Amino acid sequence: MADPSSGDPGGRSTATETGRDGTETGGSGPGERGPEPGADETGADGLDGRAVAVAVGTAVLLGALGPLIALASGVGVFAIDLAVGGLPLAANVVLTLIFGQYVAFGGLAVAYLTWRGFDHAGIVSYLGVRRPSLKEIGIVIGSWVVILITIMVVSVVVQLLGTDTAANQSAELALGNPQIIPLFVAASFLVIGPCEEILYRGVVQGRLREALPAAPAILIASAIFAAIHVMALTGGVSARLTTVSILFVPSLVFGAVYEYTENLVVPALLHGLHNAVIFTILYVTVTYGGDIEGMAEGGALLLPL
């Protein structure tokens, strides 16, 4: 499956296609497009330089476009807030999640795949959406433990180096308004995890896998995912870069489990679980443990929102 740039307007082709794993498949299925013209530029490493450039460019564009749409939708929610004379906080959060997640991330992913000619069944197949098995549930839990341990180690190193970290805006909102944390916990599984994973793993990483082996595709997709969180952080440039570097860790694990299971539901659940646990810790420490509120603030930087 290659990014369309030519061919018949309906997007159908009988040419041989290259799948995510780099193997050739037969004629294209419904809505799929054939390889780019001039694709015989395979280098010594077996990679098509032009196809790689197109895949990386597309991945970066889509990765950046999601947060930009979310930012624009935030302006819309602010306008609604002004128009009605002030929305309740919970309503404001719900609207922000709907427009900033379902539309900006999930909507963009589906729109892109639809533009490429995939129908509903084709989108489901491309993304790899299916009910997780017991083994995959185990992978979710085990991977979260790996993420937690790794981030704790990285965070200790960061503290020993005396490097500042940036604050997450959603975490700050939650810390200041603990009554809405349960809403964030639910949204982690129902909104944030699925919407961000459909774009950054399903589409961005999936598009990269059409032209690249697994390792570089995961690395690039993870870097894009971590980098876009700059917009959700507060603090100086150095602090933001440090936090983005920390967020690169869970992103790598999300990408690895997606590659291994080929089931988008698995990284979506893992992402949701990670966020939900951190939000729960914030709620418990803020509500019941004023003495360890500093611990909650430290845990807030672990959120890959």
Q: What is the pLDDT of residue 269?
A: 98
pLDDT band at 13 (very low <50, low <70, confident <90, very high): very low
- The Cα 70–Cα 229 span in angstroms is 12
Q: What is the pLDDT of residue 290?
A: 56
Q: What is the pLDDT of residue 5?
A: 37
- The Cα 28–Cα 33 span in angstroms is 6
Question: Of the given ranges (58-67, 71-80, 152-161, 230-239), which has the lowest mean pLDDT?
Answer: 230-239
- How far, rounded to the nearest angstrom, does the alpha carbon of residue 51 sit from its chain's CA centroid? 23
In the predicted model, what is the mean pLDDT of residues 286-303?
A: 57
Q: Which are the contacts of 177, defined by CB distance < 8 A and separation ≥ 6?
A: 89
Measure CA of the first residue to CA of the last residue in the chain; give whole Å: 30
- The Cα 261–Cα 266 span in angstroms is 7
Residue 249 scores a pLDDT above 70: yes
Instruction: Using the structure block, give the residue that is written with the tokens 């930012």.
Output: 71
Contacts of range 37-46, beta carbons closer than 8 Å, 24 or more positions apart: 37/5, 37/6, 39/2
Residues counted in the chain: 305
Residue 16 scores a pLDDT above 80: no
Q: What is the pLDDT of residue 294?
A: 52
Residue 124 scores a pLDDT above 80: yes
Average pLDDT across the chain, whole number: 83
In the predicted model, what is the mean pLDDT of residues 238-250?
A: 87
In the predicted model, what is the mean pLDDT of residues 88-107?
A: 95
- The Cα 65–Cα 77 span in angstroms is 18
Residue 131 scores a pLDDT above 90: yes
- The Cα 95–Cα 164 span in angstroms is 32
Q: What is the pLDDT of residue 305?
A: 59
- Distances in Å between the alpha carbon of 262 and those of 31, 126, 132, 205, 265? 21, 10, 10, 11, 9
pLDDT band at 34 (very low <50, low <70, confident <90, very high): very low
Bigger pLDDT: 162 vs 142 = 142
Q: What is the pLDDT of residue 289?
A: 66
Q: Determine what percent of the chain is predicted with pLDDT higher than 70.
A: 80
Q: What is the pLDDT of residue 194?
A: 97
Spell out the domain ranges in the chain: 49-302
Bigger pLDDT: 94 vs 28 = 94
Q: Please give the single-letter amino acid code of residue 173.
A: L
Question: Of the given ranges (38-42, 200-204, 209-213, 228-232), which has the lowest mean pLDDT?
Answer: 38-42
**8 A C-beta contact, residue 20 and residue 209:** yes
Q: What is the pLDDT of residue 22?
A: 43
In the predicted model, what is the mean pLDDT of residues 107-113?
A: 98
Residue 157 scores a pLDDT above 50: yes
Q: What is the pLDDT of residue 158?
A: 81
Question: Of the given ranges (11-20, 222-231, 234-243, 278-287), which has the lowest mean pLDDT?
Answer: 11-20
In the predicted model, what is the mean pLDDT of residues 267-272?
A: 98
Residue 260 scores a pLDDT above 60: yes
Predicted TM-score of the model (pTM): 0.82
Q: Three-state secondary structure along 82-143?
A: HHCCCCCHHHHHHHHHHHHHHHHHHHHHHHHHHHCCCCHHHHHHHHCCCCCCHHHHHHHHHH
Nearest to 214 by CA among 268, 163, 259, 267: 259
Residue 175 scores a pLDDT above 70: yes
